[in-house]
Homo-oligomer: A and B are copies of this chain.
Amino acid sequence: ADIEAGKKKAAVCAACHGQDGISMIPNYPNLKGQKAAYTEKQLFAFKDKKRNDPIMAAQAAALSDDDIKNLAAYYESLGKK
Residues of A within 8 A of B (CB): 23, 26-30, 33-38, 41, 50-52, 79
Contacts and interface: CB of A to CB of B under 8 A. Distances in A.
Given A26-B36, A30-B33, 16 more contacts: A23-B35, A26-B35, A26-B37, A27-B35, A27-B37, A27-B38, A27-B41, A28-B35, A28-B38, A29-B34, A29-B35, A29-B38, A30-B34, A30-B35, A50-B52, A51-B51
Counted per complex, copies of this chain come to: 2
Contacts of A37: 26-27
14 contacts: A26-B35, A26-B37, A26-B38, A27-B35, A27-B41, A28-B35, A28-B38, A29-B35, A29-B38, A30-B33, A30-B34, A30-B35, A30-B79, A50-B52
